[in-house]
């Protein structure tokens, strides 16, 4: 199975080869800090954007540094590097800010300190109003040149079978939560489940046609090894045994929340042309990393917006650094239905500034398994 994922802002671009995204063992240079601070690239980074009851998320103050472009013709944009914001523990890297008070602005739950720049947040046991939790931290400058900052992180309470949160403001995804309801595809003709009164009223010729149609569909499914109802539904998972690759495709989403608020234009919330696809090596219950060359993820709002990540390993000679830095967890497989969640960094091409803009995608999903 060939995999293709697209990442669009106004044009599509290719998936990228593996290279490090977050660099926890490295420290930004003073020059990097100055560039990042001028660009306002300090934020709270959460390792989860959707939380189930009493589930915990790690919150860390990070700084994002974008590479300097050479300006040479054909020069591809490099990916940003994300570091923990220096806290002053290293005398060679001064701390530009010190954190003030961490607060739960909305939604309840609890905050527990881990380090100077890190807290753990635990969601409440029941859904808060609007299913939204907001955490803030005040950042106090150590230099008069820098302004005082208040950082916010919006998290969503997860009680939908399928929900995707995309946070990539430079591509127009301002902590947006999308949901969908799984819908069956092709209905296999059958007498099973039919109202007995209706079945009794059918003439022998109609019953024979139903039986023949069901037999034909059953034969086709067995021959191809495909569940036609699942593969034609709006939430499907398929395992390619030859390549040991699982692909999941979801569509039919509704924009439910944006930055913790219901979008004003409610009539435009129903967006049919949204695709969310991802693939990973292996199958079955458990953790699956997204750093393999066959892994990829793409979230697309047609015709012109989206984000994604991947590793093509095609040897095309084109090289940049937007790869999938994340994981998929399959929690259960029952009655030909797969449930799990995904978390990864995603990117889009910022054409005006000629760089890759980075963000996050976190989702939980329910999908019918297409393989019989």
Tokens 């989860």 sit on residue: 48
pLDDT of residue 102: 95
Is pLDDT at 59 greater than 80 in this prediction?
Answer: yes
Q: Which residues pair with 84 in a beta bridge?
A: 62
Our count of domains for the chain comes to: 1
Residue 10: band (very low, low, confident or very high) from pLDDT cuts 50, 70, 90? very low
Task: Lowest mean pLDDT of 21-30, 259-268, 301-310, name the range.
Answer: 21-30
- CB burial of residue 12 (10 Å; 0-12, 13-18, 19+): middle
Q: Residue 216: inside a domain, yes or no?
A: no
Name which of 329, 279, 273, 324 is nearest 303 in CA terms: 273
pLDDT of residue 5: 31
Q: Residue 227: inside a domain, yes or no?
A: no
What value does the mean pLDDT take over residues 80-85? 82
pLDDT tens, residue by residue, 126-169: 999 889 999 999 999 888 878 888 999 999 998 888 899 999 88
Range of the domain at 135: 7-183+233-369
Per the model's pLDDT, the better-predicted residue between 120 and 247 turns out to be 120
In sequence order, which ranges of the chain are alpha helices (DSSP H)? 30-38, 196-201, 204-224, 228-231
pLDDT of residue 73: 54
Q: Residue 212: inside a domain, yes or no?
A: no
What value does the mean pLDDT take over residues 86-95? 81
Is pLDDT at 320 greater than 50 in this prediction?
Answer: no
pLDDT of residue 322: 53
pLDDT of residue 195: 63
For residue 188, CA distances in Å to 185, 219, 233, 337 come to 9, 12, 13, 17
Residue 335: band (very low, low, confident or very high) from pLDDT cuts 50, 70, 90? confident
What value does the mean pLDDT take over residues 206-222? 66
Q: Residue 137: inside a domain, yes or no?
A: yes
What value does the mean pLDDT take over residues 256-277? 73
| Radius of gyration (C-alpha) of the chain in whole angstroms | 24
Instruction: Indicate the average pLDDT of the chain.
Output: 76
pLDDT tens, residue by residue, 343-370: 998 888 776 666 778 889 999 999 888 8
Whether 122 and 28 have beta carbons less than 8 Å apart is answered as no
pLDDT of residue 83: 82
Task: Lowest mean pLDDT of 184-188, 215-219, 271-275, name the range.
Answer: 184-188
Is pLDDT at 319 greater than 50 in this prediction?
Answer: no
Whether 323 and 309 have beta carbons less than 8 Å apart is answered as yes
What value does the mean pLDDT take over residues 70-96? 73
Is pLDDT at 19 greater than 50 in this prediction?
Answer: no
What value does the mean pLDDT take over residues 306-313? 72
pLDDT of residue 156: 95
Q: What percent of the chain has pLDDT over 70?
A: 67
Q: Residue 195: inside a domain, yes or no?
A: no
Q: Residue 194: inside a domain, yes or no?
A: no
Q: Residue 204: inside a domain, yes or no?
A: no
Q: Residue 224: inside a domain, yes or no?
A: no
Is pLDDT at 313 greater than 80 in this prediction?
Answer: no
pLDDT of residue 253: 85
pLDDT of residue 50: 94
What value does the mean pLDDT take over residues 324-351? 87
- Tokens linked to 133: 């939790």
What value does the mean pLDDT take over residues 243-265? 85
pLDDT of residue 204: 78
Residue 194: band (very low, low, confident or very high) from pLDDT cuts 50, 70, 90? low
């Amino acid at each position: 199975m060939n995999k293709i994922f697209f990442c669009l802002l106004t044009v599509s671009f290719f998936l990228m080869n593996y290279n490090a995204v977050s660099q926890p063992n490295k420290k930004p240079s003073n020059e990097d800090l100055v560039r990042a601070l001028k660009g306002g690239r300090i934020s709270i980074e959460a390792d989860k954007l959707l939380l189930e009851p009493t589930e915990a998320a790690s919150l860390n103050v990070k700084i994002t540094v974008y590479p300097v472009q050479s300006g040479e013709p054909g020069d591809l944009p490099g990916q940003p590097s994300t570091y923990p914001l220096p806290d002053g523990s290293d005398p060679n890297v001064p701390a530009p800010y010190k954190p003030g008070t961490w607060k739960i602005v909305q939604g309840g739950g609890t905050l527990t300190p881990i380090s100077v720049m890190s807290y753990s947040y635990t969601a409440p046991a029941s859904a808060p109003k609007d299913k939204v939790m907001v955490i803030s931290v005040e950042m106090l400058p150590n230099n008069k040149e820098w302004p005082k900052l208040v950082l916010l992180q919006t998290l969503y309470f997860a009680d939908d079978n399928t929900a995707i949160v995309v946070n990539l403001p430079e591509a127009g995804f301002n902590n947006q939560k999308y949901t969908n309801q799984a819908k069956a595809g092709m209905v296999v003709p059958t007498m099973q489940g039919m109202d007995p009164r209706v079945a009794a009223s059918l003439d022998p010729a109609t019953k024979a046609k139903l039986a023949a149609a069901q037999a034909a569909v059953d034969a086709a499914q067995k021959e191809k090894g495909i569940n036609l109802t699942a593969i034609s539904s709006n939430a499907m998972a398929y395992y390619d045994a030859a390549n040991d690759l699982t692909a999941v495709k979801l569509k039919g989403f509704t924009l439910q929340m944006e930055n913790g608020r219901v979008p004003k234009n409610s009539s435009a919330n129903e967006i049919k042309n949204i695709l969310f696809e991802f693939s990973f090596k292996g199958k079955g219950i458990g953790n699956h990393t997204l750093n393999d060359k066959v892994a990829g993820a793409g979230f697309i709002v047609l015709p012109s917006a989206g984000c994604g990540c991947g590793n093509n390993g095609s040897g095309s000679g084109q090289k940049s650094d937007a790869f999938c830095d994340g994981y998929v967890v399959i929690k259960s497989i029952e009655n030909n239905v797969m449930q799990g969640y995904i978390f990864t960094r995603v990117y889009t091409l910022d054409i005006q500034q000629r760089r890759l803009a980075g963000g996050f995608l976190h989702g939980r999903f329910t999908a019918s398994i297409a393989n019989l």
